[in-house]
Structure 1
Amino acid sequence: MNGSITVVVIDGHTLTRYGLIRLVSADADISIVGECGLASEAGALVASARPDVVVLDVMLPDADGLRVARELRDRHPALGIVVLTSQDEDDVLFRALENGASAFVAKTAPNTELLGAIRHAAVAASSFTATGLAPALARRGRVVAKGCALSLSGREQEVLRLLADGLSVPAIAGAMFVSLSTAKTYVARLYEKLGATNRANAIMTALRLGLITAELPAIA
C-alpha cells in the first residue's frame, strides 16, 4: 500500500537499513520506494525513485553522508533530507544544516522523533529542524554584549525570513518585487549586520539572537 509520503533509505549498515525500512513502513502515511547502502548509488536511485524524503546516514562506507546531502540538495531543491547519525555532536549538527539537510536525528532518538522529522521534511524541505538545535546554538554561540541590540530594517527582516525559508537570491527578488541587484544588496547588508558569510551562518546567528525561531518536529 502506497502512503502519501515516499521515502528512500540510504544507510551502509544492512541491518540498520532494513530496521529503518521496517520502522518507516509501519506508518500508514509513509511508503518506502527505494534503498541502498552506498553514496555512489544514491544519486541514480533518488533520480529514478523521485521520493519526497531521503533518510540518509551521516557515515557511508564510500563517502561522507553530508557531502551526499549537499549534492542531493543542489540537484533536488524540493527534496526532504533527514540526516541520521550516531555522532550526536554539535559540529555534525551544524554541518548537516550547512549542507542542506531538512532534519537531523540521532539514531538513539525515539521512533516518533524520526517519523516526525520525515513528516517535517516532506512539507518543509528547506527548513531545518533538530531537537538539540537550541542548546547547540547556546554552546556554540558568540557572547552578545548586554545592551547591544541588533536592529534590522523591515526589508532586512523580510529578507531574513525568506532566507530561512530556503529561497535563493533570485527568488527573494521575485518575492519582494525588486531587481536582482537590489536583492543582493539587501542580503549583503543583512550578512554584514549579522557578521555572517553565508546563509547557514546568518540563520544560526539569527536563531541565537531570537530574530527567528527554530521549528521543531511535531511528535505524535
Structure 2
Amino acid sequence: MDIRIKIVVVDGHTLTRYGMLGLVGGHADIELVGDTGLGAEAAALVAATEPDVVVLDTALPDRDGLLVARELRDRYAGLGIVLLASNGEDEVLFRALEQGVSAFVAKTAPTNEILAAIRHAAVSANSFLASGLGPAFARRQLVAPRPVLSPREAEVLSLLGQGLSIPAIAAGMFVSHSTAKTYVARVYEKLGASNRAQALMAGLRLGLIRKELASSA
C-alpha cells in the first residue's frame, strides 16, 4: 500500500509555496494537499484537508507564525508542525521548542534537511528536531544571568568601591551596623563573591560599577 505524507503549507510568500510544491513533487512519499498565505486560514485549512504535517512560516503577513503553531498544537495533538524560519536565531529556535512544534528549519537549509524535517514530523509529531539545537543550548548555558541588585544593594556596592568600611557605610546610609553588614552580605551572595575585591571585580565585569570605582578601592 502506497502511504503518502500529506502536507499543507502556510507561508506568506507565493514563491515559497510554489517552491515547496516543486520540492515535494519529486518525492513519491510526500503530497501537498493545500496551501495558504495567511495564518488566520491555517486552522480551517487543516480541518478541511486533514494533513499529516503543516509547514509553517514564522513571519506571516497577518499573524505570528509561532502563535499559529501553538494554536494548532493545542487543537491537533498528533499533527506534525515544521516551522520555517528566515533565520536560525537561538531565540526563535527556543520559542519554537516552547510552542510544541515538531521541527525547526531555516529557509536557507539544504532541501534534504527540509525533507527530513517533514518526514520526522509525520512520524514523531511531539518530539523536537532542529539541526542547531545542541550548539544553541551550549550558547545559552554560557550566558549567565545578570544579578539584579536592589537600589540599596547597588548603593552598597558603590560605597564598597569607594573603599568605605562597613561602619562608614552604615553611617553614610543612616542605617545600623548590622543592617549595613547584611546589605554587604547580600551583595557578596548575589555576585558570587567572598570578599570586597571579588565583589568589585564581579560588579565591574557585569557593568554594575564604573572602572574608576573598582580601581580606587
What TM bracket, shorter-length normalisation? 0.5 to 0.7
Between the aligned residues of both structures, percent identity stands at 66
Q: Which has the higher contact order (CA 8 A, sep 6+)?
A: 1
2:15 alignment partner in structure 1: 15
The one-letter code of the counterpart of 2:45 is L
Taking the aligned partners of 1:135 and 1:142, their CA distance within structure 2 comes to: 11
Distance 1:61 1:143, change over 3 A: closer
Say what the alpha-carbon RMSD is for the aligned residues: 1.5
* TM-score, with structure 1 as normaliser: 0.63
1:31 to 2:31 alignment: yes
Distance 1:108 1:143, change over 3 A: closer
Taking the aligned partners of 1:38 and 1:143, their CA distance within structure 2 comes to: 36
1:52 alignment partner in structure 2: 52
Taking the aligned partners of 1:43 and 1:25, their CA distance within structure 2 comes to: 24
Post-superposition CA distance 1:36-63 (Å, at most 9, x none): 0001110100011110000000100001
1:41 alignment partner in structure 2: 41
Q: Over alpha carbons, which structure has the higher Rg?
A: 2
2:69 alignment partner in structure 1: 69
1:5 alignment partner in structure 2: 5
Runs of 4+ in structure 1 deviating by more than 4 angstroms, as ranges, are none
State the 1:17 CA deviation. 1.1
1:136 to 2:136 alignment: yes
Taking the aligned partners of 1:141 and 1:4, their CA distance within structure 2 comes to: 40
Post-superposition CA distance 1:42-96 (Å, at most 9, x none): 0100011110000000100001000000000000000000000112100000000
1:101 alignment partner in structure 2: 101
* TM-score, with structure 2 as normaliser: 0.64
Which has a greater percent of helix?
Answer: 2
1:121 alignment partner in structure 2: 121
1:218 alignment partner in structure 2: none
Structure 1 residue runs without a partner (length 5+): 145-220
